[in-house]
Amino acid sequence: MEAFVTSPRLLLFLAMLLSVLHWAPVSEARDIHSFLNENFLNSSKSQNAKKWAVLVAGSKGFTNYRHQADVCHAYQILKAGGLQDENIIVFMYDDIANNPENRKPGVILNRINGPNVYPGVPKVDQDYTGDQATKANFYCVLLGMSRGVTGGSGKVLDSGPDDHVFIYYADHGSPGRLTMPDGDSVYASEFVNALKIKHQSNAYSQMVIYVEACESGSIFDGLLPEDLNVYATTSANPTESSYSCYHDPGLNAFLGDSYSVSWMEDSEARDPSTETLDEQYEAVKKRTGDKAKFGSTSHVMQYGTKKLGSCAVGDFIGSRSPKTKNYSPRNSSTRSHFIPQRDVELYLLHQKLVASVASEVCGEGR
């Protein structure tokens, strides 16, 4: 480092730069300063930034299998990208892997014939599972209030002014509202106010939020300011359902949600160190809502500080070599069984009824 600082070429460059700034008109000098800040100073901050993540599965029960599967898969992506457990905070009820209805005990899948995404994910007495996955703990974690959390690991989002934060929330929703496993509600206005407090506290540099829920656009639409350095995308606009996918007949469960598996499979197929947030947004938007081919599905939306879209995905979720080649924005394995989230429970009950009737008929036939 010392040799670099005392380099004659660097000193000459700095001398010329100071001369230009001294003699340039004020407006031009400001332009030069902005250029340096965006291309050099911010780049240096990005290299020193610590990556943090908060993952939330806001439901419980086997019929909601997909939300915890989504969060477990996201955890595996973050770990593969280099994030440490001390910087990943997980909220999930943790009643799926060993549920009596799970015909594959200890296993959680996020796609048909996919890998087990459960290993390594914080379990009981780690992070926030069971009755500790509450709205109160979520806000304490978000705001870095370690004294306020009840139970769990006690980890909070202790991020600093140079750090990058990624929040992923998979859940049920309704206009202006998300839920937690205990049934308590996270309301749009209070969530955005918490983000404003986090920003005023200078507790992060840049933040990305992905939300999977029905009417998820209503969490940010007209509420999230553009100057918080928060880039958000949602699975649906403010007035529509999001969609579940990957129905596994053997488990009689939907293993994932269309928007969620889209951004995660995209992250595994592309190089996060070069793919930008905007490029991922466009790919996920295309895969999730191709109405011409797949009928009425949801519309992926974008909110907040949209200029952050030029940042690399890997600046927030870490970087890894792509696992999948020849990624298609809509591969064939996701084309069947797209069900609005609000209709999933009814669909699964119908499948159980069909299986029960078939079993009785086959029994009588013997």
Average pLDDT value for residue range 236-260: 92
Q: pLDDT tens across 109-140, in order?
A: 999 999 999 999 987 668 999 999 999 999 99
Beta bridge mates, 164: 51, 206
Which listed residue (67, 72, 73, 214) is catalytic?
A: 214
Q: pLDDT tens across 184-214, in order?
A: 999 999 999 999 999 999 999 999 999 999 9
Q: Is residue 140 among the annotated active site residues? A: no
**Which of 109-113, 153-157, 215-219, 344-348 has the weakest average pLDDT?**
344-348
Residue 350 clears pLDDT 70, i.e. is over it? no
Q: Is residue 72 among the annotated active site residues? A: no
Q: pLDDT tens across 54-66, in order?
A: 999 999 999 999 9
pLDDT at 62: 95
Residue 257 CB partners (closer than 8 Å, separation 6+): 66, 67, 70, 170, 212, 235, 242, 243, 244, 245, 341
Question: What domains can you pick out in the chain, each with its CATH number?
Answer: 51-320+332-344 (3.40.50.1460)
Which listed residue (67, 73, 164, 172) is catalytic?
A: 172
Asked if residue 309 lies in contact with residue 281, where contact means CB atoms within 8 angstroms, the answer is: yes
Q: pLDDT tens across 146-188, in order?
A: 999 999 999 999 999 999 999 999 999 999 999 999 999 999 9
Number of H helices, E strands in the chain: 12, 13
Cα angle 318-80-86, degrees, rounded to a multiple of 5: 75
Average pLDDT over the chain reads 83
